[in-house]
Amino acid sequence: MLVSFRAVLEAGGPSFMPTQIIVVPDAAWQALGGKATKRVVATLNGHAERLGLLPQEGGGRYLLLRKGLCQRLGVAIGQEIDLTLAPDPNPDYVDLPNELAEALAAWPEAEATFLAHSGAMARKVADAKRPDTRARYAVELAERLARGGHPFRAGSN
């Protein structure tokens, strides 16, 4: 299922992280599977990107576009964007960040546990903006997993 529309890039997003968003028309996100669809492959001005289809307060859905993506697309708040959306065929897949691959290689016990979980752990590392933050998250995650701890709670088993 493909859905195409034109939308304006708006300021928005969570209050703790002001960013740029595209509000997805109700008919579009409903056609993609409604609330069951969490991630999409979005083609924005001809550039394909995997994005979360995020819920808005009061209903509706939006796409959060990071500053770097907007710069690559050459768009700013207030400009229109041509979009085509399709449900992500592999919504839990995340490219393994190099920092996390290295940390898991150092702890084979952690790698086995990591492979049994969803891509949420890799996404936490991959979404960090700075390389030193990604490296720190990767090492912390690998240590917790190697010790049998919870992937997101320090000190828990």
Per-residue confidence (pLDDT) for residue 14, from 0 to 100: 63
Q: Is the pTM of this model over 0.85?
A: no
CATH architecture, domain defined by 3-87: Beta Barrel (2.40)
* Under 8 Å between Cβ of 142 and 107: yes
Could you read off the pLDDT of 57-101 as tens digits, one per residue? 888 899 988 888 888 899 999 999 999 999 988 877 777 778 877
CA distance 124 to 110: 16
Residue 6 has pLDDT above 60, yes or no: yes
pLDDT digits (tens, 9 = 90+) for 12-57: 866 666 688 999 999 999 999 888 888 899 999 889 998 888 888 8
Q: Give the other-Cβ count within 10 Å of 55's Cβ.
A: 13
Tell me the C-alpha distance between 102 and 134, whole Å: 11
Please give the pLDDT value at position 59.
85
- Mean pLDDT, residues 142-152 taken together: 73
Residue 118 has pLDDT above 60, yes or no: no
User: Is pLDDT of 115 > 70?
Assistant: no
Helix (H) or strand (E) holding 11: strand 10-12
**Predicted local confidence at residue 87, as pLDDT:** 92
Please give the pLDDT value at position 2.
92
Q: Is 61 left (phi over 0), alpha (psi -120 to 50) or beta?
A: beta
pLDDT at 37: 86
| Domain range annotation of the chain | 3-87, 98-146
Would you state the pLDDT for residue 126?
81
Q: Is 90 exceeded by the pLDDT of residue 9?
A: yes
